[in-house]
């Protein structure tokens, strides 16, 4: 170990929702000596990077896409809209960091170039790009589920001489599209949120679409002071409901489709479409995500809506999604389909007319050349596992995560990995991640991590590590849950299918409330699936 390395109880990597809460919890609630590092220039994680126009919360409602643990924080913050804009979420996280005095323990613009477990010392050693070294007993990886940008490698793309941005690495300066011909590749959330905004200013927008999407109207609306007051008064109950109801405090409808006539079902779909947000998916009938016939009916309903909105039948045809509704991340849009009724927007269906190459001033597809001045890559991320592999910690015996995860992202509880003692992930593969309210998910995961650390300290232990057997049965469990649904049938980033060569594996836990029950049970039951090592005092002294 380096003699002059700074020493901490825990090192946290990342200062987004997850990392910031972990710093607060471990430092202020547990009294540990903690240091956080982030390559970004400020707090916010995803919200620090994703500054593209139109970026908004795509979860049910902003007050619930927020920390839940502190009534004071809930009372402090005035959410303005149900689907708040990205800069407001960033301002909220800055406020959180400020209110709890977190900034003094975060080192920004610092990339971790190496993270290595020292078996003899039972500690992690990190090195930074500034040449610093630090050690800690625990390494907390809060590196983000959507961090490593996926950049397509079309021939000649680097020769494109115009301005080019990835939505996940958007510049901090305002970008003007005025008078510009803009090409947008990708129609996930980022593309669908940004295209209407870009189209308002640009001379022309050409959208290059690989997979047409189901997007539901966000029906974003202002939140009144009275509504916020109600939430504040009932906060403890709402928080409990979120914990019990898969992350959101809404009652979902438990009616069975077979009890209703087809025309009654259509009327329900209409109502939920008008209501907007994710209601069509969670509030129509039981089994939308597992019953193929029911899912087909909802899918066709949404296709019908797209046909109604988009005036040009040929464009509408290209926009028809053909996978199972909801099995890619559901998108909440603000006028996306309507944007295709503008004269300055055109759509290229890459399945019929694939991109062949880029020149310095255009995108060349099989059937035509599309001159552009600006390129927006809304092409997503190497999701969930990518940011851990980017960090690539080296565990027991110097084995790297890249080696361990070559074929499968083995882990236990989405939070720990066999061979990587004293290391924890927040929102790792196998955790509920985006299938639950992520801020609350981060709080609950951190509570589990904190309890485990306390257990180690109370019992005077040196290290904790998941077992291979626990990983195997956890993998089975995750897959059994996913296989009861339609999710695995679709090529989505949930399945790792958006990245060429990535192992195909469902990357989330679909039953968030059960998952957090499970974490509590594991802790209460003495940490089944983990082995603990005594302190190796004789080795280190
Ligand atoms: P997504 O949802 O992964 O969307 C990326 C989009 O880019 C999607 O339409 C992809 O098509 C498309 N894509 C990816 N690679 C290519 C290439 N090589 N050529 C053409 N098109 C491509 O990422 P987002 O940033 O929109 O959203 C990520 C999450 O952030 C989202 O779920 C929200 O939670 C917020 P595909 O569908 O893979 O065929």
C-alpha–C-alpha distance, residues 434 and 412, integer Å: 18
Q: For residue 246, name the pLDDT band (cuts at 50, 70, 90).
A: very high
> How many angstroms does the Cα of residue 166 sit away from the middle of ligand 1?
11
CA dihedral 426, 429, 434, 435 (to 10 degrees): -120
CB neighbour list of residue 126: distance below 8 Å, 6 or more residues apart: 11, 13, 37, 112, 114, 115, 116, 133, 134, 135, 136, 139
Q: 45 and 118, same structural domain?
A: yes
> How many angstroms does the Cα of residue 488 sit away from the middle of ligand 1?
17
- In our burial notation (b when 16+ CB lie closer than 10 A, e otherwise), range 252-289 reads eeeeebeeeeeeebeebbeebbeebbbbbbbbbbebbb
- Is 244 domain-assigned? no
- Is 241 domain-assigned? no
Kindly report the protein residue whose alpha carbon is nearest to atom 14 of ligand 1.
Answer: 379
Q: 440 and 341, same structural domain?
A: no
Position 219 scores a pLDDT of 96
Q: 186 and 91, same structural domain?
A: no
Which domain CATH number covers 166?
3.50.50.60
C-alpha–C-alpha distance, residues 252 and 286, integer Å: 9
Position 538 scores a pLDDT of 54
pLDDT at 429 over 70: yes
Residue with the two structure tokens 């927007």: 345
pLDDT in tens, 433-447: 999 999 999 999 999
User: 346, 377, 408: which is the final residue of a domain?
Assistant: 377
157: Cβ below 6 Å to ligand 1?
no
Q: 189 and 83, same structural domain?
A: no
User: 355, 377, 399: which is the final residue of a domain?
Assistant: 377
For the chain, percent of residues with pLDDT exceeding 90? 96
Q: 164 and 205, same structural domain?
A: yes
Q: For residue 541, name the pLDDT band (cuts at 50, 70, 90).
A: very low
Strands 123-128 and 112-118: antiparallel
Kindly report the protein residue whose alpha carbon is nearest to atom 30 of ligand 1.
Answer: 189
Q: For residue 396, name the pLDDT band (cuts at 50, 70, 90).
A: very high
Range 309-321 average pLDDT: 98
pLDDT at 287 over 60: yes
Q: For residue 540, name the pLDDT band (cuts at 50, 70, 90).
A: very low
Q: 412 and 484, same structural domain?
A: yes
Range 309-318 average pLDDT: 98
pLDDT at 2 over 80: no
Tokens of 302: 């949404």
| Number of independent structural domains in the chain | 2
pLDDT at 313 over 50: yes
Of residues 53, 51, 43, the one with CA closest to residue 92: 43
3-state secondary structure of 356: strand
> How many angstroms does the Cα of residue 19 sit away from the middle of ligand 1?
25
Q: 134 and 93, same structural domain?
A: yes
Range 293-306 average pLDDT: 98
Range 367-373 average pLDDT: 98
146: Cβ below 6 Å to ligand 1?
yes
C-alpha–C-alpha distance, residues 231 and 235, integer Å: 6
Q: 423 and 359, same structural domain?
A: no
- The least confident of 185-194, 278-287, 388-397, 461-470 is 278-287
Q: 75 and 48, same structural domain?
A: yes
3-state secondary structure of 345: strand
- Is 239 domain-assigned? no
Range 192-215 average pLDDT: 98
Q: 118 and 31, same structural domain?
A: yes
Mean pLDDT (the chain) is: 96
3-state secondary structure of 386: helix
Phi, psi of 78 (to 5 degrees): -100, 95
Answer whether 0.95 is exceeded by the pTM: yes
| 192 CA: nearest ligand 1 atom | 26
User: 337, 352, 377: which is the final residue of a domain?
Assistant: 377
| 186 CA: nearest ligand 1 atom | 7
Domain that holds residue 311: 157-224+249-377
């Amino acid at each position: 170990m380096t003699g002059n390395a700074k020493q901490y109880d825990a090192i946290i990597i990342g200062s987004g929702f997850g990392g910031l809460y972990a710093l607060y919890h471990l430092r202020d609630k547990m009294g540990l000596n903690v240091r956080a590092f982030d390559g970004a220039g400020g707090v916010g994680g995803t919200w620090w990077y994703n500054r593209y126009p139109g970026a908004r919360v795509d979860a049910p409602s902003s007050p619930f896409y927020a920390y839940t643990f502190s009534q004071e924080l809930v009372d402090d913050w005035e959410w303005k809209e149900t689907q708040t804009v990205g800069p407001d979420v960033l301002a909220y996280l800055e406020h959180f960091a400020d209110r709890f005095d977190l900034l003094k323990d975060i080192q920004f613009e610092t990339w971790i170039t190496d993270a290595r477990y020292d078996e003899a010392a039972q500690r992690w050693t990190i090195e930074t790009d500034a040449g610093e070294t630090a050690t800690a007993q625990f390494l907390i990886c809060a590196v983000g589920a959507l961090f490593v940008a996926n950049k397509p490698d079309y021939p000649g793309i680097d020769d494109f001489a115009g301005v080019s941005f990835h939505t996940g690495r958007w510049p901090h300066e305002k970008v003007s599209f005025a008078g510009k011909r803009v090409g947008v590749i990708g129609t996930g959330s980022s593309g669908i949120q940004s295209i209407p905004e870009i189209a308002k200013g640009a001379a022309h927008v050409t959208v290059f679409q690989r997979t047409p999407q189901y997007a539901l109207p966000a029906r974003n609306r202002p939140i009144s002071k009275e509504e916020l007051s109600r939430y504040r008064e009932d906060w403890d109950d709402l928080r409990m409901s979120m914990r019990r109801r898969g992350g959101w405090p809404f009652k979902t409808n438990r009616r069975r489709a077979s009890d209703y006539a087809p025309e009654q079902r259509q009327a329900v779909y209409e109502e939920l479409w008008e209501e907007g947000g994710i209601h069509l998916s969670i509030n129509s009938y039981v089994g939308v995500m597992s019953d193929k016939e029911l899912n087909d009916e909802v899918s066709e309903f949404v296709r019908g809506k797209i046909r109604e909105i988009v005036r040009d039948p040929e464009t509408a045809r290209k926009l028809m999604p053909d996978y199972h509704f909801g099995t890619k991340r559901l998108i909440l849009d603000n006028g996306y389909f309507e944007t295709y009724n503008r004269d300055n927007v055109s759509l290229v269906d890459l399945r019929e007319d694939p991109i062949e190459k880029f020149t310095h001033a255009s995108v060349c597809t099989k059937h035509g050349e599309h001159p552009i001045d600006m390129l927006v890559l809304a092409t997503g991320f190497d999701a969930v596992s990518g940011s851990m592999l980017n960090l690539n910690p080296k565990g027991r015996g110097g084995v790297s995560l890249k080696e361990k995860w070559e074929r499968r992202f083995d882990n236990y509880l989405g939070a720990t990995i066999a061979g990587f003692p004293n290391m924890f992930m927040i929102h790792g593969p196998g955790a509920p991640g985006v299938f639950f309210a992520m801020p609350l998910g981060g709080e609950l995961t951190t509570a589990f991590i904190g309890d485990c650390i306390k257990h180690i300290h109370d019992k005077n232990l040196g290290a904790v590590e998941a077992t291979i057997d626990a990983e195997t049965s956890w993998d089975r469990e995750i897959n059994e849950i996913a296989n009861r649904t339609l999710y695995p049938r679709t090529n989505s980033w949930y399945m790792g299918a958006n990245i060429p060569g990535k192992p195909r594996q469902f990357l989330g836990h679909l039953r968030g409330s059960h998952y957090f029950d499970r974490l509590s049970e594991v802790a209460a039951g003495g940490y089944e699936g983990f082995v603990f090592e005594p302190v190796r005092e004789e080795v280190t002294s």
